[in-house]
């Protein structure tokens, strides 16, 4: 399995809306256009809705998207995340953090750090302080999180669409207090193990790229090429949501909406007739860079009342 690859890595927390689908289709087209394999990962460490992972896969297969290699599931891979964390720990780059979300929000932010960044409260505690903090958490039935010691690093990343991304890097969580391995660590380990060297995903994740690249550097893993693609928004300029109308592939197909036609058109290529047409016409240089506003058709009565798992 040495060939290089692109990937799509949806979280199986619910139905994919048309914007998520368009992002996944772009990841597929970009991988194919650049001669890469296209892999699929189920990011099920966190919120999971029963049946959603399978439904997402079925929807892509129905669109004619072909997936290479085995489907990877993050919950099958926790020992790899633990091993990576140990490697960082051996180099003194991991520390326990006892802060709650509220503690972090109410702490003054560190100089030069953007609001919301971790202020470093637990970075330099003494052993005595740590023992006391651990006991305090234990009494409250909580466990410490693990964080990466970054020393407020910068790690600029080149993005095929956005240019240089220079988002601030704070001490990212590696393992949450509830024991769940954190997104940033898992993504980096998985992409490397899956030979993913091209990451195409929504531009809401662009600010994660520098911290993921830093983790790659620290773990001696290659940094993939990034392309953060524009999102699909509702008329108010917010993320699409169920209450906006017919937004899922199932709902739109039921209404006879031309999904491929809309995807091609909204990305600047003119209407696509299907997956083969899209593969033939896709060209990253011609990709529209602006977000798309999608005004969803109203839900038909049947679709509104259909059970969630109906398709």
Selection from 70, 75, 102, 62 nearest residue 11 by Cα: 75
Query: Which C-beta is closer to ligand GLU: that of 42 or that of 99?
Result: 42
Least Cβ distance, residue 187 to ligand GLU (angstroms): 5
Q: Is the dihedral of CA 15, 199, 166, 150 positive or negative?
A: positive
- 307: Cβ–Cβ under 8 A, 6 or more apart, which residues? none
CA 273/CA 255 separation, integer angstroms: 17
Least Cβ distance, residue 94 to ligand GLU (angstroms): 22
| H or E element, residue 186 | helix 183-193
Least Cβ distance, residue 160 to ligand GLU (angstroms): 15
Q: Is the dihedral of CA 240, 21, 208, 122 positive or negative?
A: positive
SS3 state at 180: coil
Least Cβ distance, residue 10 to ligand GLU (angstroms): 5
Query: Which C-beta is closer to ligand GLU: that of 9 or that of 247?
Result: 9
CA 225/CA 160 separation, integer angstroms: 8
SS3 content of the chain, % helix, strand, coil (to 5): 40, 15, 45
Least Cβ distance, residue 190 to ligand GLU (angstroms): 9
Query: Which C-beta is closer to ligand GLU: that of 32 or that of 39?
Result: 39
Query: Which C-beta is closer to ligand GLU: that of 10 or that of 119?
Result: 10
**Contact between 297 and 255 (Cβ < 8 Å):** yes
Query: Which C-beta is closer to ligand GLU: that of 133 or that of 190?
Result: 190
Query: Which C-beta is closer to ligand GLU: that of 18 or that of 99?
Result: 18
Selection from 165, 170, 153 nearest residue 114 by Cα: 170
Least Cβ distance, residue 194 to ligand GLU (angstroms): 12
List contacts with ligand GLU (CB under 6 A): 9-11, 43, 187, 201, 205
CA 105/CA 116 separation, integer angstroms: 7
**Contact between 45 and 73 (Cβ < 8 Å):** no
Query: Which C-beta is closer to ligand GLU: that of 75 or that of 105?
Result: 75
**Contact between 94 and 147 (Cβ < 8 Å):** yes
CA 88/CA 98 separation, integer angstroms: 19
Phi and psi of 165, rounded to 5°? -100, 125
Least Cβ distance, residue 89 to ligand GLU (angstroms): 24
Least Cβ distance, residue 185 to ligand GLU (angstroms): 12
Query: Which C-beta is closer to ligand GLU: that of 56 or that of 266?
Result: 56
């Amino acid at each position: 399995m040495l060939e290089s690859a692109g990937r799509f890595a949806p979280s199986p927390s619910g139905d994919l809306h048309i914007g998520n689908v368009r992002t996944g289709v772009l990841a597929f087209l970009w991988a194919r256009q650049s001669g890469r394999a296209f892999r699929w990962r189920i990011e099920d460490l966190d919120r999971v809705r029963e049946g959603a992972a399978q439904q997402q896969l079925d929807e892509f297969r129905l669109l004619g998207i072909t997936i290479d290699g085995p489907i990877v599931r993050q919950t099958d891979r926790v020992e790899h995340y633990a091993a990576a964390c140990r490697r960082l720990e051996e180099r003194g780059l991991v520390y326990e953090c006892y802060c709650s979300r509220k503690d972090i929000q109410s702490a003054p932010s560190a100089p030069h750090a953007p609001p919301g960044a971790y202020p470093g409260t637990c970075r330099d505690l003494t052993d005595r302080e740590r023992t006391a903090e651990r006991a305090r958490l234990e009494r409250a039935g909580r466990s410490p999180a693990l964080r990466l010691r970054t020393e407020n690093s910068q790690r600029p990343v080149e993005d095929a669409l956005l240019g240089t991304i220079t988002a601030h890097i704070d001490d990212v969580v590696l393992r949450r207090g509830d024991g769940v391995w954190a997104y940033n660590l898992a993504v980096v380990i998985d992409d490397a193990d899956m030979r993913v060297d091209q990451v195409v995903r929504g531009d809401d994740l662009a600010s994660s790229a520098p911290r993921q690249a830093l983790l790659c550097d620290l773990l001696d893993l290659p940094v993939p090429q990034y392309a953060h693609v524009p999102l699909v928004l509702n008329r108010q300029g917010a993320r699409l949501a169920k209450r906006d109308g017919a937004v899922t592939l199932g709902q739109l197909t039921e209404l006879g909406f031309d999904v491929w036609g809309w995807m091609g058109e909204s990305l600047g290529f003119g209407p696509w007739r299907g997956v083969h047409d899209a593969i033939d016409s896709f060209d990253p240089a011609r990709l529209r860079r602006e977000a798309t506003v999608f005004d969803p058709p109203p839900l038909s009565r049947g679709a509104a009342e259909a059970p969630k798992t109906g398709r």
